[in-house]
Amino acid sequence: METGEDFGPWLARQLKLAGKTQAELAEELGLTRAAVSAWITRRSVPRPAVMTEIAKALGTDVGTVHTRTTDTQAGLPVTWYHRPGYQDGGRDGGNAAAFAFDADVQVLARETCQNSLDERLTENGRPVRVRYTIHELTGEMLESFRQAILWDELRPHYEAVSAAASHQKVGRVVHAGVQHMFEKGRLILLRVDDYNASGLVGDDYDNGKFAAVVRRQLESLKSDRGAGGSFGLGKATLWATSALGMVLINSTLSVPHEGRTERRVIGRLELPWRSVGDETYAGPAWLGRPDPDSPGAQVTRSWWADEETVERLHLTRDSDEPGTSFLIVGAHDVASLDEGQADRATDDETDGDDDATRDICSMHKRLVQALERDFWAAMTAGGSRLPLLETSVRTLRNGRVVIGEQKVDPTEAQPARTRALRAFYEGTTVDRLTEAGQVAMRTVPLRLPRSGGLGGTLGTHQAVLLVTDAQDRDGVPKQVHSCGATG
């Protein structure tokens, strides 16, 4: 059973969500306000029989009161909050950070995998596991998902963006995405799950990983252990890859927040400035629970979802291992579409299902290729050294397997490079190549220049140069490849 939040803070938040005061709850329970105050300030906890009455007052079951791993449903419902338009009349044509990237799943793989590596939990020595799931929805499953994301609430905003599509790059992409969903009756979800990672810890608004990803732009968090920044510009690839500008998030935390770790859920929508009815909206929107501490309870924040909700949102995680699931809604990949169009040009007799299968299979192939090319070093083990990273890709349609889970094996695409790195880890390198398959090693002193064009150096680094025979699958021979980022 999950470890729930302390009773006092949990009850205080439920009262805010339900719009009840301590005095009103006390009156319903036939107790004094002092008794309720003692629970909230953690001076005491109610007896089991009283917990049953509290559950009735909050409109929930007694199990929820006992476990306290989620909020009650008696309070404000999950909804979309759209940032109001600027009072000075300013307009944004979209998130500028997303313009730094094309809708390219190979770029997405590079940026998201690097973020996961930066957030890997190092204490247990295990690799971070990253899985990509391409999932095409049609028919009833598509309609069910649209209901889960409250599409009827969003429709006027998408219609407003589509109406102004000719004036905005983002608007044209969104208009095409919505049009494709309804005309073709298909929607592609691309989910990125990582495990053995820190998860989006921290408060909704204060400094921390959660706020850096969900609330802010161009903020890169630096790890205490000296890793590169994470969740900076690269996170914009998630929204750039969505034709609808929508990403849903479910995070399992390595450090409890509000006494809990599992199913911290929120959604973020990136649209350009728009006018809906008599109101104007600046751009982003968030799917969540209205925050009772915000003016008029308008701003939404993350909420602790139940298992049924995350299942309807296609955000169910495999285990309670820390990490985050990002669901890109309406994923599109320019290169995959180009490949699909080229294939269709040679076969005019294919039907719509064949076209759709070709598109998602091309996306699958390109994801695998990117992971093999960019992260072979991080996925290579040797001696007592475990890999830093494990990756896989799978493709589904309406929950059924189109391509089974394919674990990326760096030795298949990069046989010589992985052989060289493994020999270094295992201490089996030689001074001179005398036989095929050997790996020669030399150290090369590299002078490290000072940053900012300043004169002098920071010292000398003894770099390791590994040389071995190239194989056909390695591509062009006689090339130098750097893998210093493997740790």
Q: Tokens 């909700």 belong to which residue? A: 309
Name residue 1's amino acid.
Answer: M
Tell me which CATH homologous superfamily contains domain 7-67.
Answer: lambda repressor-like DNA-binding domains (1.10.260.40)
In the prediction, which pLDDT does 486 show? 43
Query: Which pLDDT score, from 0 to 100, does residue 451 have?
Result: 77
What's the CA gap between 198 and 209, in Å, rounded? Answer: 9
Domain ranges of the chain: 7-67, 79-413, 415-486
- The SS3 of residue 206 is coil
Q: Per-residue pLDDT tens for 271-300? A: 999 999 999 999 899 999 888 777 666 788
- pLDDT value, residue 226: 46
SS3 at position 412: helix
Report DSSP letters for 320-364, one per residue.
Answer: S-SEEEEEEEEE--HHHHHHHHHHHHT-TT--HHHHHHHHHHHHH
**Model confidence, pTM:** 0.84
CA 284, CA 268: separation in Å to the nearest integer? 7
Instruction: Report long-range pairs for 425-434 (Cβ below 8 Å, ≥24 apart).
Output: 425/380, 425/381, 425/382, 425/383, 425/385, 426/382, 426/383, 427/383, 429/466, 433/467, 433/468, 433/469
Q: How many helices (H) and strands (E) does the chain have?
A: 16, 14
Cα distance between residue 31 and residue 254, in whole Å:
38
Terminal CA-to-CA distance of the chain, rounded, Å? 37
**Distances, alpha carbon 426 to alpha carbons 411, 420, 422, in Å:** 16, 10, 6
pLDDT tens track for 442-473: 999 988 888 777 778 888 889 999 999 987 77
> Tens place of pLDDT for every residue, the chain, 487 residues?
455 788 998 898 888 878 789 999 999 999 999 999 999 999 999 998 999 999 999 888 888 888 887 777 655 689 999 999 888 888 777 666 556 667 789 999 999 999 999 999 999 999 999 999 999 999 999 999 999 999 999 999 999 998 876 667 777 888 888 988 999 999 999 999 999 999 999 999 888 899 989 987 756 565 544 445 555 677 889 999 999 999 999 999 999 888 789 999 999 999 999 999 999 999 899 999 888 777 666 788 899 898 999 999 999 999 999 999 999 999 998 776 555 555 554 455 445 567 778 889 999 999 999 999 999 999 999 999 999 999 999 999 999 999 999 999 999 989 999 999 999 999 999 999 999 999 999 999 988 888 777 778 888 889 999 999 987 777 777 677 776 644 4
Nearest to 375 by CA among 110, 186, 137, 168: 110
For 228, what's the count of Cα atoms within 13 Å in the CB-facing half-sphere? 15
